[in-house]
Amino acid sequence: MAPLSKQNACDSAIAVNYRIRHPKVKTGCITCRIRRVKCDETKPKCMRCCKYGTECGGYPPTPSKNSIRNSKQNRILIPKLQSIEGHTWLPALNLFGSEAEKQYFNVFSNQIAAAIFPYFNCESWIRIINQACTTNSSIRHAAIAIGALGKTYEIARLCKKVGTGERVVLDVQRLSGSEIRLQSTSSDDLDKQANVHHRQALEQYDKAIRIMRNDLENGDQDIRTSLIICMIINCFEHIHGNHRSAAIQAQAGLAMVHEFQSQAQHDDSFPQGYSSPCPNKIEDFLVQSFGRLEIQSMSVFDPRPQEVHIKLKNEGKETINKMPKKFQNLEQSRNYLELITRRIMHFNGTIHVPRVNPTATSSMPYPSPVLNMLPQSGNRNHNPIPWIELKIPLANAQKILSSETLNKEKEELVKELDMWSHASNELLQFSMNRCPQDAISALALQIAALKTRITILSSLFLNESAYDTLYPEFSQIVQFADQLVNLQKTQESMNRNLYGPKFSTINMNFSFDLAIIPALYIVMIKCRYGPTRHKALNLLRENPRREGVWDSAASSGLGAWVIELEEEAARQILMKSSTSPFSAKDHDLALSSEMTPLELLQSTDNNDDNLHNFSSKFPEEIRIRGAQMRFDLLERRASLECTQIDINTGKFIRKKGTFSW
């Protein structure tokens, strides 16, 4: 892709907001130009940004004549501004219907837009969304709605309340400057303010939807605009706690991207699955963002049938074959890992997901475009179950496990992941010793890679005991997640000390991207080594956040329930068995011991039966299967389900529970 130069990207994003009578200043820092304020141009970071409490974006390099010429040829086209009597018509005066809209938009632009991409560089998102907000009223009203939600969160935190399913209670004294407002404002008044902001958020969101529908009916919305709208609506719905509506938006956007890719002529300069096939029409960032949404969808809510996964599992295979021996930057490493992850999850989908037509064969022609393959409301084959719980149907187990084709595909995917690891090792180690943000990105990549490795290695597992072989991966996930959240806390503390009262109190703990929650969820559910799984549980409980559809409070609730059921069943079965070589006390020691599984084995008698029993720590028959939940983030309530053998009857039973937070 030949991207917009930073200079031209900033000009596109902010030019429409200058007053006609003022000269256009092009020498300030990127952040001040986006905020439309005068920059003092202090190097390397301007004092105005530091005093305001925002991150200075630095200064774009002066483009050469060649770069200017190239950027003009490849830039994204946006509607031209009308010229009136020799002057450029600028809509800045008419962007907002009220002062409140302007203030909410400023909250979104200055405090929220970057915060919802906390794990990686979000420059492309900031450029795209600021430009889109100035040219499309639907996107602008959605941004205003998120800004209003941000103010709702701020007051909810000050009141030590939450309204969207997040289990967060903060110390008011830590919120610099906020205690002063609390002293002069009653609790009832704060509730009223929060309700006003929340009502404004819903009204602005309604405006955004109505404008979007009108534009669609009139044919005034191109695919690029539609994708940006899908992204920002997806963010609003997730922040607000309506995960089902967010999932619908994600599926609609994915269908558009797949249709766009299927119709485009692929060029070797735009690798399939890695970049946009037509970056002059839709930027790489948008295509890659929906690739990340696809991973999210496949992690828990993907309703697409097997035929779709068969078609998509080979996407980007040639691109992977040409993977660099060493990656040059974190973004390159990330994009290749996500391509491999999608291929692996589509591979899993070909094994575990039912077909629309059970008699279909893999050689059948695929419906085109993929848009026609979106699930219908009558699709009863799909249940919202985490991907790690999908198991090979026992009726097909022998056929699947003996399939040379499937086993060969699995081996190839493991090799692809190994290639990525070798290409990334040096870069990731280097990034860990750089600035906190680079270290956070490197840790997020390593966690994602471990999660993906567990996904492919367990793809043909038939029983729960097989997960014991993945203890090294479980342990590393917990270690990296612990480092990541501590780095984030350190970064927040540094910013709070640096900016003082100007430090933003708006923190919705929401990320568009996945990072630690699904990985720690795997550890809680599938790692039966007590210290490690309890550490994963505590990390989620102590660091509340939401990553896409994954909510830490809901996930930790299900994890705690599964842990409790398994540990209690293990105690009961050991106490009931008169021939057991272990007492309940011995078992409790195994659950809480700081020794590794190998050390625990070595500490027992050297007896084959004893070693077998102790190596699993939990007999296969009492291990939980099919753990899943249906949750309502708005009501902060979840219904839990799983399958476990009843130790009295020896039969599998479906267990149910509820969880509120």
Of 70-74, 79-83, 124-128, 582-586, the poorest mean pLDDT is in 79-83
Give the pLDDT confidence of 274-327 residue by residue, as tens digits. 889 999 999 999 999 999 999 999 998 777 888 889 989 999 999 999 999 999
Residue from 485, 563, 547 nearest 511 by CA: 547
Question: What is d(CA 101, CA 572) in angstroms, rounded to the nearest whole number?
Answer: 60
Which residues are paired to 637 by β-bridges?
Answer: 632, 660
The answer to whether the beta carbons of residues 562 and 524 sit under 8 Å apart is yes
Helix (H) or strand (E) holding 642: strand 637-645
Q: Please say whether the beta carbons of 32 and 38 come within 8 A.
A: yes
Give me 456's structure tokens. Answer: 């492919």
Residue 355 has pLDDT above 70, yes or no: no
Closest CA to 506 of 126, 239, 223: 239
User: Which residues is 87 bridged to in the sheet?
Assistant: 84
Question: Would you give the DSSP letter of residue 396?
Answer: G
- Helix, coil or strand: residue 236: helix
- Sign of the Cα torsion 260, 261, 265, 270 reads positive
Helix (H) or strand (E) holding 654: strand 652-660
The pLDDT value recorded for residue 13 is 32
- The pLDDT of 517-532, averaged and rounded, is 95
Q: Where are the alpha helices (DSSP H) in 297-403?
A: 306-312, 317-321, 330-352, 397-401
Query: Residue 570: helix, strand or coil by DSSP?
Result: helix
Q: How far apart are CA 441 and CA 64, in angstroms?
A: 31
Distance of alpha carbon 225 from alpha carbon 78, whole angstroms: 10
Structure-token pair, residue 259: 């249709």
Q: What percent of the chain has pLDDT over 90?
A: 46
Position 183 scores a pLDDT of: 42
Q: What is the C-alpha to C-alpha distance for residues 441 and 329, in angstroms, rounded to an integer?
A: 11
Q: What's the pLDDT score for residue 392? A: 76
3-state secondary structure of 653: strand
Least confident stretch, 130-139, 187-196, 244-253: 187-196
- Asked whether the beta carbons of 240 and 273 are under 8 A apart, the reply is no
Answer for the pair 458, 467: CB distance below 8 angstroms, yes or no.
yes
Nearest to 389 by CA among 515, 525, 516: 525
Q: Which of 352, 360, 346, 361 is nearest to 393 (CA)?
A: 352
Residue 480: pLDDT over 50:
yes
User: Which pLDDT does position 16 carry in this prediction?
Assistant: 32
Helix H or strand E encompassing 450? helix 436-457
Least confident of 254-258, 323-327, 403-407, 646-650: 646-650
- Phi, psi (5° rounding) for residue 182? -65, -35
State how far the Cα of 347 lies from the Cα of 633, in Å rounded to an integer.
31
Measuring CA to CA, how many Å separate 74 from each of 15, 442, 658? Answer: 19, 31, 54
- Model confidence over 483-493: pLDDT tens digits? 999 999 998 88
Q: Write down the residue that tokens 């304020």 correspond to.
A: 37
Q: What is the mean pLDDT of the chain?
A: 77
Best CA proximity match to 9, nearest among 34, 36, 38, 35: 34
Highest mean pLDDT out of 8-22, 165-179, 319-333, 599-613? 319-333
- Mean pLDDT on 144-149: 96
For 478-515, the DSSP string reads: HHHHHHHHHHHHHHHHHHHHHHGGGS------EESS--
The sign one gets for the Cα dihedral 436, 327, 518, 163 is: positive
**Which of the pair, 267 or 584, is modelled with greater confidence?**
267
**Cα distances (angstroms) measured from residue 82 to each of 18, 88, 93:** 15, 6, 15
Write phi, then psi, for 638 (nearest 5 degrees). Answer: -135, 145
The winner for highest mean pLDDT among 189-198, 254-263, 594-603 is: 254-263
Look at residue 551 and tell me whether its pLDDT is greater than 50. yes
From the list 291, 315, 335, 322, the residue with the least C-alpha distance to 419 is 322
- What pLDDT was estimated at residue 48? 67
User: How far is the C-alpha of 111 from the C-alpha of 489, rounded, in Å?
Assistant: 17
Band of residue 63 on the pLDDT scale cut at 50, 70, 90: very low
pTM given for the model: 0.76
Residue in 439, 303, 441 with CA at minimum distance from that of residue 379? 303
Average pLDDT over residues 322-345: 97
pLDDT at 124: 94
pLDDT at 204 over 60: yes
The token duo for 306 is 């097997």
pLDDT (0 to 100) of residue 31:
58
More confident residue, 286 or 614: 286
As given in the structure block, the two tokens for residue 21 are 């009578």
Domain ranges of the chain: 1-94, 98-303, 535-660
pLDDT digits (tens, 9 = 90+) for 493-513: 888 888 776 666 678 889 999
Q: How far apart are CA 396 and CA 302, in angstroms?
A: 22
Most confident option among 320-324, 592-596, 648-652:
320-324
Whether the per-residue pLDDT at 178 is higher than 80: the answer is no
Q: What's the CA dihedral at 139, 140, 146, 152 to 10 degrees? A: -150
Rounded to whole angstroms, the Cα distance separating 530 from 473 reads: 15
Residue the block writes with tokens 């534009």: 215
* Lowest-confidence region among 20-24, 264-268, 396-400: 20-24
Residue 610 identity? N
Return the half-sphere exposure (C-beta side, CA atoms, 13 A cut-off) of residue 572: 12
